[in-house]
Structure 1
Amino acid sequence: MDKRFIVLIAVIVVTVASLAVLAGGNMFNVERIGNNSVDQNMTSTALQKIQVIPLSNVNGRIDHMDIDIAGGRLFIAELGNNSIDVIDLVKGKRIHSITGLDEPQGIVFVPESKKIYVANAGDGTVDIFNSDSYALVKTINLSSDADNMRYDSASKLVYVGYGNGALGLIDTATDNLVGSIKLDGHPESFQISHQLKPSIFVNVPGDDSIEVIDSQKLSMVSKISNTDSHYNYAMALDENDHRLFVVYRQPSQLSVIDIDSGKTITKLNVVGDADDIFYDNKNKQIYVTGGEGYLQVISQDGANTYHEVAKMPTANGARTSLFVPETGRLYLAVPAYFGQDAQIQVYEVHKIQ
C-alpha cells in the first residue's frame, strides 16, 4: 500500500477520534489547584492566574492587603504571624517584613504622606510606618480590636473600625485621632462614598444591621436591618447605580440593596466564609472570595439583575483578597492551612462575554 495513503488514513483516524472525544464531553482542560479542579474553558476568559508569590515562614490567618501602585508593592497584614509583608510585584518576592505586631488586620497605604497604617486586633492600636524606611512613626491607642481601615483621599482621613462600636478618624497630616463615630456594635467592612449623601455604610453584624453614617455630622442617620440573613461581613459599593453589595455568612448569600430605599433588590448564593467582595465598575462584575475555597464572579446585567458567570476553585481558607481596578489585577491571600503553602495568587480580570 502507498505510504502516502497510509499517512492520510492515520490523519483521518486521529481527527475522528479527537472529534469523538469532544462530542463525548471531554472538551475542557482541567487544571488542579490545591485539592480542587477548575474548568479552564469556562473560567480562563474572566480569571487568569498569572502569578503565584510564595510567603515562606508565614503561619496562620492572613487578613487584608493594600497596594502601592506607583511603586509596585503589595502590603499584606498577616494576623496569625503578627507581621506585615512587603512584596515587590515585579520581582514576585518579599522585600521586607515588619514583625512584632499584635494581630494586624486592617492596612492602608497613603501615597501622599508615604505612610503605612496598620490596625492591630490584639492590643487595639494603629501603628504608623514610614513606607520608605519601614520605621515606626507613631502608635495610636484605641480601646480594642482595631480592624478594617479605609483611606479617604478627599478628606485626607484614615477611617478605622474598632472596639465595641466605633469608627476612628485619623488625620494623615498630623497622624492624630481627630474624631470618632459611635456605632451599635463592632464594625466589619465599610464603604465611603463621594457621590452619595449620607456617605458611609457600615456592616455591624453584632447589631444585625447596616448602619448609615453622615460623614459631616459624624453620626448615624439611619439603619438597614438584616432580615433573613445574618453575619454581614464583606461589603462593596456601586455609586452610580446606588447599589450596596453585602455578603452574609448565614446563609452564604449576596444581597443587592437599593441605597435610596434600603430595600433588598435581589439575593444570590455565594461562596461560604466570604470575607471580601469587590465591584468592578469597568467590567460590571462582582468578585467574591471565601474560605470555602472559591473565587466567584457575578455579572451585573443591570442595576437590578445579576447572575453568576464563573466560580474558580482556589484554596482552603483563601478568603481575603484585593481587587485593583487601575491594573485589572486581583490578589488572593492563601494561608498555610491543611498542608498548603502560604502564598499570594495573582489573577488578571477581564469581562466575561
Structure 2
Amino acid sequence: MPLTTVADAPLTGRTTRWDYASLDPVAHRLYLAHLGDSVVTVFDTQERKVIADVTNASHVHGVLFVPELRRVYASATGTDEVVAMDPASLKITARVPAGDYPDGMAYAPEVHKLYVSDEHGGTDTVIDVRTNTRVATIALGGEVGNTQYDPVSRHIFANVQTRKQLVEIDPATDKVIGRIDLPDAEGNHGLYIDPSTRLAFIACEDNNKLIVLDLATRRVLSTFDVAKDPDVLAFDRTLGWLYVAGESGEVSVFHVQGHSISPLGTAMLGPDAHVVAVDEATHRGYFPLKSVAGKPLLRITEPSKTAP
C-alpha cells in the first residue's frame, strides 16, 4: 500500500457509523456525515481538530460542499429530506423533502439543481438550489447508488444497482436519456467521474470490483479487484490517484494516466474505512474511522516516499 499515516486526529461523538465526506480546500474544512450520531461534523484540516457538530440531520448519509454556492447540503435519511447549511454560521438554513432513503448528491451548476440518490425509492430527487425546493422526481427503475455530475456532457449519471446500469439524465429536461449496461456489475454503488479522461469509475459492493467505463464510447475498458465491500471513491487529479475505500477497512489505490489504469496496492487502513476525501493540494487522504481503541478518529494519510 503506497500510503503512510501522518496523524490520527480525535473526532467527537460516539463510536457509531460515519458516511460521506466533502472537502472545502480553500477554507481548510472537511465536512463529515456522522450517520450514527445524526450530525454533520466540521473538521479543520490545518488545525487538525473538530470545530463544530451541526445537529438535527437525522441519520445523515450524504454530505456535499458546493463551492459555487458556498453552501453545504446533507441528506437526512431519518426524515427523508435534504438539509442546507451555511458554512459561515454553521446553521441549517433550509429543509427540502426528498424521496425514500436519500443518500449521495451531485450538483449541476448550469441549471442550479441538486440531484439526490433516493436509494430505496428508486428515484433521483431534483432540488432547485435558488429556492431550496423540490422541482422534480425522476424514476430510475431500481435501487439507486451514487449520483455524479459530468461537466463535459453537462449531464447527471446515476448507478441503478439492481439493474446493473449507469443511467444518464439530462438536467435541462430532468429525463432519463440513456442507460448503459454493466454486465459484470454486482451492486454498482460507488461512482466517480473524471472529466479530463472521460472515465467513470464504478465500485461494485457485492462482488468487490471496480469497473472503468469510457463515457465517450459507452464501453467498459477494464475491471479490477478492489478492497472488500467498496463504497466511497475519491480522486487526486494532480497525482492521478484513485482511492476506493471499503467497508472491510481495506483501501485500494490506483494510478490513472489517460486511459491507462494500474493498481498501486490494496491493504487494511483501519476499521470501517469506507469513507475517503482527498486534498489535491497536499495529497492528504482523510478517513473517518468508527472506533479505534474505543474512540472515533480521523486517519490522515499521504503518499509514501517510495510510492510511484
CA contact (8 A) 1:283 1:350 kept: no
Cα drift, residue 270 of structure 1:
0.3
Please identify which structure carries the higher strand content: 2
Q: Percent identity?
A: 23
Per-residue CA deviations over 1:254-281 (Å, capped at 9, x if unaligned) read 1112223332221111001111123333
Q: Which residue of 2 aligns with 1:37?
A: none
Residue pairs, 1:160-199, within 5 angstroms: 160-162=116-118, 164-196=121-153, 199=155
State how far apart, in whole Å, the 1-side matches of 2:141 and 2:282 are.
37
Per-residue CA deviations over 1:212-239 (Å, capped at 9, x if unaligned) read 2222221111212232331011111232
Per-residue CA deviations over 1:115-151 (Å, capped at 9, x if unaligned) read 3221111220112222222223221122321111123
Q: Which residue of 2 aligns with 1:36?
A: none
Q: Which residue of 1 aligns with 2:302?
A: 348
Per-residue CA deviations over 1:81-124 (Å, capped at 9, x if unaligned) read 11111112222111111223310001122345443221111220
SS in 2 for 1:100: coil
- Tell me the TM-score normalised to structure 1 length: 0.79
Per-residue CA deviations over 1:272-319 (Å, capped at 9, x if unaligned) read 11111233332222211112222221123541x322113342112110
State how far apart, in whole Å, the 2-side matches of 1:153 and 1:346 are.
31
> Given the alignment, which residue of 265, 287, 290 partners 1:310?
265
CA contact (8 A) 2:115 2:147 kept: no
Return 173-182 or 88-97, whichever deviates more: 173-182
Per-residue CA deviations over 1:34-78 (Å, capped at 9, x if unaligned) read xxxxxxxx62xxx23222221133332100111222222211111
**For structure 1, which runs of at least 5 residues remain unmatched after alignment?**
1-41
CA contact (8 A) 1:58 1:78 kept: no
Matching residue's letter, 1:319? H
Q: Kindly name which structure, 1 or 2, has the bigger radius of gyration based on alpha carbons.
A: 1
Cα drift, residue 340 of structure 1:
4.6
Matching residue's letter, 1:188? G
Matching residue's letter, 1:225? D
> Given the alignment, which residue of 309, 325, 328 partners 2:280?
325
CA contact (8 A) 1:298 1:310 kept: yes
CA contact (8 A) 2:204 2:210 kept: yes
Matching residue's letter, 2:228? G
CA 1:154–1:332 in 2, change beyond 3 Å: closer, same or farther? farther
SS in 2 for 1:164: coil
**For structure 2, which runs of at least 5 residues remain unmatched after alignment?**
none
Q: Which residue of 2 aligns with 1:223?
A: 179
Q: Which residue of 2 aligns with 1:64?
A: 20
CA contact (8 A) 1:150 1:159 kept: yes
SS in 2 for 1:80: helix
Q: Which residue of 2 aligns with 1:21?
A: none
Residue pairs, 1:257-276, within 5 angstroms: 257-276=213-232
CA contact (8 A) 2:236 2:283 kept: no
Matching residue's letter, 1:348? E
CA 1:65–1:138 in 2, change beyond 3 Å: closer, same or farther? same
State how far apart, in whole Å, the 1-side matches of 2:129 and 2:150 are.
19
Residue pairs, 1:19-98, within 5 angstroms: 43=2, 47-98=3-54
Per-residue CA deviations over 1:317-345 (Å, capped at 9, x if unaligned) read 110111232442321121127x5531111
Q: Which residue of 2 aligns with 1:236?
A: 192
**2:192 matched to 1:247?**
no
Please identify which structure carries the higher helix content: 1
State how far apart, in whole Å, the 2-side matches of 1:110 and 1:302 are.
27
> Given the alignment, which residue of 271, 284, 299 partners 2:240?
284
Q: Which residue of 2 aligns with 1:135?
A: 91
CA contact (8 A) 2:83 2:92 kept: yes
CA contact (8 A) 2:97 2:134 kept: no
Q: Which residue of 2 aligns with 1:207?
A: 163
CA 1:48–1:84 in 2, change beyond 3 Å: closer, same or farther? same
CA contact (8 A) 2:99 2:123 kept: no
Matching residue's letter, 1:128? A
State how far apart, in whole Å, the 2-side matches of 1:311 and 1:200 are.
30
Per-residue CA deviations over 1:174-213 (Å, capped at 9, x if unaligned) read 222233333112322122111126x222111122221122
State how far apart, in whole Å, the 1-side matches of 2:234 and 2:40 are.
23
